[in-house]
């Protein structure tokens, strides 16, 4: 890769900046909302790659390339810390970015994901050790949750089911429509057909909380549904306590900038409803920032 393909990464080394929050589309808003509740004074840039969503059905290489491009863009915009608010990107790109790319881009910056904090918590939440996971085909195929859970909580039984239709339902604003009922019910039945003793279900895609009304409707009674927003926010607070040098590199004016690679008006509408505030998003074209 070309470490210097984005202008301005070098100019922002060591300078405090906003927290970058990245997702393939709208899903990361479910993380941003919780993070902002926990850290209201911080500045944020939210970036949704709606033009190229969904990521969940794409190849490893493409998800890695798209994610790296987004991270480089956020770095060039001054972010010292970027949260991949996307399980698919966390599963397919995070490790390589952390281990290979950061050293070349700027070893002082950090990129954090959503899978490890979720896996940490789940072991404390389940009562009987039977866990279900809903995720994108990419996340499920990567077996990232299987690996993390085996390391952190050996002995837990995990059954995973991929839901390729759930993200498109959200991205195309069909999460309240009848089509959503069909797919959500079908996928919940498929998960419980694998293990009827599951007591805890991870929504392992940040888009899925946007389908919660339908998910609650078809989930068997008494099942604990784990959404990631508060878990990731709590883990970020803990990270910043343990890393005061990164905490000092976050600017704090309470601002938020919403960016999308697709239509800005469409993004503003959807994000505005979900965030409960007026959103005035801007469309970004990475090419404008590449040397």
Among all residues, which ones are annotated catalytic? Answer: 86, 205
| DSSP for residue 59 | -
Cβ proximity to ligand DGL: between 58 and 249 the closer is: 58
Tell whether residue 206 is a contact of ligand DGL (CB under 6 A): yes
Cis peptide before 54 (omega within 30 of 0): yes
Are the C-beta atoms of residues 123 and 148 closer than 8 Å to each other? no
- Min dist CB 25 to ligand DGL, Å, is 6
Cα(276)–Cα(273) distance, rounded to whole angstroms? 5
- Min dist CB 129 to ligand DGL, Å, is 24
Are the C-beta atoms of residues 282 and 257 closer than 8 Å to each other? yes
Question: Which range of residues in 18-26, 34-42, 240-248, 254-262 is near ligand DGL by CB under 6 A?
Answer: 18-26
Edge to edge, what strands does the sheet with 224-226 contain? Answer: 157-162, 130-135, 200-203, 224-226
Are the C-beta atoms of residues 240 and 233 closer than 8 Å to each other? no
Tell whether residue 55 is a contact of ligand DGL (CB under 6 A): yes
Looking at 39, 86, 105, 169, which residue binds ligand DGL (CB under 6 A)? 86
Looking at 17, 48, 54, 209, which residue binds ligand DGL (CB under 6 A)? 54
Are the C-beta atoms of residues 88 and 23 closer than 8 Å to each other? no
Half-sphere CA count of 50, side-chain side, radius 13 A: 27
- Min dist CB 32 to ligand DGL, Å, is 12
Residue number, nearest CB to ligand DGL: 56
Cβ proximity to ligand DGL: between 25 and 78 the closer is: 25
Tell whether residue 205 is a contact of ligand DGL (CB under 6 A): yes
Footprint of ligand DGL on 139-198 (CB under 6 A): 139, 167
Cα(257)–Cα(99) distance, rounded to whole angstroms? 29
Catalog residues that contact ligand DGL under the rule CB under 6 A: 23-25, 27, 53-56, 86-88, 136, 139, 167, 205-207
């Amino acid at each position: 890769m070309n470490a210097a393909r984005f202008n301005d990464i070098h100019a922002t080394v060591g300078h405090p900046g906003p927290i970058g929050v990245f997702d393939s589309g709208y899903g990361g808003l479910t993380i941003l909302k919780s993070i902002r509740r926990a850290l209201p004074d911080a500045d944020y840039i939210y970036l949704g790659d709606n033009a190229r969503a969904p990521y969940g059905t794409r190849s490893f290489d493409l998800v890695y390339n798209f994610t790296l491009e987004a991270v480089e863009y956020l770095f060039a915009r001054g972010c010292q810390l970027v949260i991949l608010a996307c399980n698919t990107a966390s599963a397919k790109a995070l490790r390589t970015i952390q281990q290979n790319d950061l050293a070349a881009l700027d070893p002082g910056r950090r990129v954090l994901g959503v899978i490890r904090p979720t896996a940490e918590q789940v072991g404390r939440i389940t009562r009987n050790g039977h866990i279900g996971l809903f995720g994108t085909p990419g996340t499920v195929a990567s077996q990232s949750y299987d690996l993390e859970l085996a390391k952190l909580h050996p002995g837990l039984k995990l059954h995973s089911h991929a839901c390729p239709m759930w993200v498109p339902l959200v991205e195309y604003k069909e999460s309240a429509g009848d089509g959503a009922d069909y797919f959500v019910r079908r996928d919940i039945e498929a998960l419980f057909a694998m293990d009827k003793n599951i007591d805890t279900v991870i929504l392992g895609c940040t888009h899925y909380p946007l389908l919660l009304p339908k998910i609650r409707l078809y989930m068997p009674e008494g099942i604990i549904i784990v959404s990631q927003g508060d878990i990731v926010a709590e883990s970020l607070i803990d990270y910043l306590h343990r890393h005061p040098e990164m905490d000092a590199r976050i600017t704090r004016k309470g601002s938020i900038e919403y960016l999308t690679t697709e239509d800005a008006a469409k993004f503003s509408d959807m994000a505005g409803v979900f965030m409960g505030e007026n959103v005035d998003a801007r469309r970004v074209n990475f090419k404008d920032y590449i040397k």
